Structures are given as structure tokens and as C-alpha cells.
Chain A
């Protein structure tokens, strides 16, 4: 079963499928923005918990393997990215991990309490963002996203392109994977020069195949009464005032909490720095 189909199955099987797509979108974006605006580490930690809770409710954490791998890869990027923020401390502040400014290759390493705390803040924001975005994506099939976009009065041509890009992206990924495996079986990646030539050949074939699919798809869809949108047989709920109220209440409560509660000092907790 393809990854796109797995993602669609996951979304159609979600307990949150009937929730208003526009409401979920509003809630997710508001929490992402709130986690970004607040400087208190507790706020992204709480938004992370909300995202995790929604993901658990929506999917029981049954994510397709490719999505799981992508998340692990994203966490690796986040970790090294936050490491970079922590070593770019203000040289006028005292270092907390190494005794003064050290060098790794050409980079000056200067970890201060502020840069270390900032790195953790960014890490929690990033992880919270991933769980929130995935809770939305894993509970909202693409026709529902298109429906939400239409409620925002976005031109129907744009919505159609969004839906078609989603469908064809996974189709091309599958084609590329088949060609990649076939080339590998024929020792097409034996040596750097041959690898590049093979990769170029695969890309051309995928591109030409995509043009052929484009030429065939239009009449094929039209012959099935396609008029620019894919139908939804069980419509999700419409966004109501309660979505705005719930979002506003959660965001206000979190903002007030973040404003008044002291942010945890990660440098003191982890490194024992005062």
C-alpha cells in the first residue's frame, strides 16, 4: 500500500475526522503562533502535550513508516540546529559548559546560560510544532483541506492545483522508487559518475512520465465527470463560533500562564549553572 494511501487511510480512520477542518486549522495555527510568541519554555511544552494528546486521540500513534522516519530525521535536524544556537552565545556573558570560548574547526563555541535556555526553548517549539501539524494532517483528508480552503474564499483553480499536487507528488515518489530499485538491481549506482548519470536518467524518466500522465489524466478525469473538485460524501462539520471561543480561551490561558509563571532555567537543571 502506498504511503499516500496509508496517510489517507489514517486520516479517514481518525476519530477527529468530523471535526471542522477550518476549526482544526485555526486551533493548530493559533497554538503554533502562541508557542512562538511566548518566551516561557512551559508554553511550548504544554502545546507539545496538547499536540501529542490530539495525535494519540486521532491515530493511536499508528503513523506510516515513512512519516515516522521523517519525524526522526526532523528531530535530528532540530537537535543539531539547537546545538548550533546554544554554542552561539554572547561572548560578553560567562560560559557555562566549557571554560571560556573554545573552537571546533572554524567555529567559536561559547555556551552561555542564555544561549542554552534559548536552544531548549527552540527545541520545544519545534517538537510542539511537529506534533500539532501532524495531529492536523493525520486527521484531515486532503478533500477536507480543500473544503477548508474553499471556506476561506480561495480561488477554485488554486484549490484544484493544491489537491492535484498532493495526488501527483506521491504518484511520482512511487514511480521514482520503482526506477531507483530497478537501477540499483542493474548496478546503476556503481561509482560516482554512473550514479549521477543514473540519477539524471531517473529524473528525466520521472519528468517525462509525469508529462505523459498529465496528458492522459485530463481526458480520463473529464470522462469521469470531473469538474475541478473531488467530492466529499460525508461532509465534516462546519466551523462554528465555539471553535473560535475554544481557541481564544486556550490561547489566552496559555499566554497568561506563560507571562506570569517563571520559565524553567534549563542551564541550571541540566548543567547545574547558576
Chain B
């Protein structure tokens, strides 16, 4: 759901940069602190960024000056938190803009806000709410990935509406952008939810410590 270079007016580019930058700076501060205290963590953090790059490179064109793709930020938000995800998403978005013409530099603030902040924040809250309610890892991950994807797309539609809705009316434009996005994004969000649910199940079975789970009896016995 990257908005392409040159698509937003400069005023909105500035607004989204101002909103996104403090959270990215907080993420930088947090990651710098983690790396200084535990240098061995830097490879894992870098690979998480690379994993987001891999997932968000699988894009489908959407009829809105943007594209539809899995975000992968739901998983990152669950594992590392929102501000770290915002920072990793920033790096990924810069590389995608420079190397793959996917997204843009002037629209970076808007893309960071939708894909790196709003979606991961929603995923983070859903995941923690469901886990506190003793819901299993695969179901919690399904809803976290689904909500991260849907919130990212709603925020992108909102950003496009704010930029282009003054001629037709904001309500009409929002409905137009939402419905056009929905054609690709709602099925994609469910597919991403199902895939990440399976992903979480495999991961909980093979590396339970990642989710803070106890290893299964036979693994514990063999350990």
C-alpha cells in the first residue's frame, strides 16, 4: 500500500513526515539502546527488516495510485513492538523507493505512517488483547495480521482522500478509495491472516520461545 512518488501534494507530504518522524526517532533510540546493550541482537533486528522487505515486495497493482501487498509488519509489531517496526519499515520503504520504484521519497512520511505505524499499532493491541484473553497463538496472529493489513489500507485510503477529496467531497472520495482498495486488499488481508496464522502455528511448534511459550514435553525431555 505504498503511495507512489509525486502523488501527494507537498503540504500533505510535510504533515505525514511531521507525524511519523517522532515515532521513527523513538524507534531509532530504542534499537540503538538494544544494540548497545546486546550487540548479538543486531543481526536478528536486521533480518526482521529484511523479512518485511521480502513480504512487502510481493505487490499487486491497485487502482488508486498505490499497490496492494502483504505488509509483514503485523508479525514484526508482535515480536519487537511498534516503534522498532516503524524504524525497520522506514529502512525498507527507502530501499523499495530507491531500488524498486515502489513508493517514493516525498511520500515516505505517509507510507511510514500507514505501513509502519498505524497497522503495526493496531496489530500490537489486538495481539496483546487476545493473548491476555488466553486466545491461542495462531488465532491471535490471524487477527493481528488481518487487522494490521486492514488498518494500513484504511489509513492509506484516508491519506488519499485528504489529498484528493476536496473536489468531489471527502465522504464520496473516501468511499471510492476504500471500495477500490477493497477489491484487492480485503481478500489479501484474509490470505495474509491465514498464512500468518499457519506461520505462527509452525513457529510455535518449532521455536516456542519466540512467543514466550513453554517447549512441548518431548522437546523439554530431550533438552
User: Residues of A at under 8 Å CB distance from B?
Assistant: 7, 28-29, 32-33, 35-37, 44, 67, 70-71, 73-74, 76-78, 80-85, 88-91, 106-108, 110, 115, 122, 124-126, 128-130, 133-134, 136-137, 155, 157-158, 160-162, 164-169, 171-173, 176, 196-197, 199-201, 203-204, 206-208, 210-211, 213-215, 217-218
Establish whether residues A78 and B4, one from each chain, have CB atoms under 8 Å apart when the complex forms: yes
Closest beta carbon of chain A to B99's beta carbon, Å: 5
> What is the bound-complex CA distance between A91 and B13, given in angstroms?
26
Among the interface residues A32, A71, A133, which one has the most CB atoms of the partner chain B within 10 A?
A: A133
Establish whether residues B199 and A161, one from each chain, have CB atoms under 8 Å apart when the complex forms: no
> What is the bound-complex CA distance between A73 and B100, given in angstroms?
9
Contact of A70 among B5, B32, B102 (CB under 8 A): B102
Establish whether residues B105 and A211, one from each chain, have CB atoms under 8 Å apart when the complex forms: no
> What is the bound-complex CA distance between A165 and B199, given in angstroms?
22
Establish whether residues B42 and A213, one from each chain, have CB atoms under 8 Å apart when the complex forms: no
> How many interface contacts (CB-CB < 8 Å) are there between A and B?
220
Number of interface residues of B (CB under 8 A): 68
Chain A CB within 8 A of B54 CB: yes
Q: Given A122-B7, A204-B199, are A81 and B43 neighbors across the interface (CB < 8 Å)?
A: no
Establish whether residues A168 and B4, one from each chain, have CB atoms under 8 Å apart when the complex forms: no
Closest beta carbon of chain A to B157's beta carbon, Å: 12
Q: Given A161-B42, A206-B54, are A211 and B207 neighbors across the interface (CB < 8 Å)?
A: yes
Establish whether residues B63 and A80, one from each chain, have CB atoms under 8 Å apart when the complex forms: yes
> What is the bound-complex CA distance between A74 and B65, given in angstroms?
9
Q: Given A122-B6, A133-B5, A165-B46, are A36 and B106 neighbors across the interface (CB < 8 Å)?
A: yes
With both beta carbons as reference points, the residue of chain B lying nearest to A214 in the complex is identified as B43
Closest beta carbon of chain A to B54's beta carbon, Å: 5
Q: Given A84-B64, A157-B31, A207-B203, are A77 and B10 neighbors across the interface (CB < 8 Å)?
A: no
Q: Across the interface, which residues of B come within 8 angstroms of A106, CB to CB?
A: 175-176, 179
Q: Given A115-B167, A211-B47, are A158 and B176 neighbors across the interface (CB < 8 Å)?
A: no
Overall SS of chain A's interface: helix
> What is the bound-complex CA distance between A228 and B96, given in angstroms?
24
Q: Across the interface, which residues of A come within 8 angstroms of B180, CB to CB?
A: 84, 107
> What is the bound-complex CA distance between A165 and B164, given in angstroms?
34
Contact of A168 among B40, B47, B99, B101 (CB under 8 A): B47
Question: Can you pick out 10 interface pairs between chain A and chain B where the beta carbons lie within 8 Å of each other?
Answer: A36-B6, A73-B61, A78-B65, A88-B173, A124-B6, A161-B45, A164-B47, A169-B54, A203-B199, A218-B43
Chain A CB within 8 A of B26 CB: no
Q: Across the interface, which residues of A come within 8 angstroms of B66, CB to CB?
A: 77, 81
Q: Across the interface, which residues of B come within 8 angstroms of A37, CB to CB?
A: 10
13 other A-B residue contacts (CB within 8 Å) besides A108-B176, A157-B31? A29-B105, A32-B6, A33-B10, A36-B13, A77-B62, A81-B7, A89-B167, A125-B5, A126-B4, A168-B47, A200-B194, A204-B202, A204-B203
Among the interface residues B65, B67, B198, B206, which one has the most CB atoms of the partner chain A within 10 A?
A: B65
Q: Across the interface, which residues of B come within 8 angstroms of A36, CB to CB?
A: 6, 9-10, 13, 106
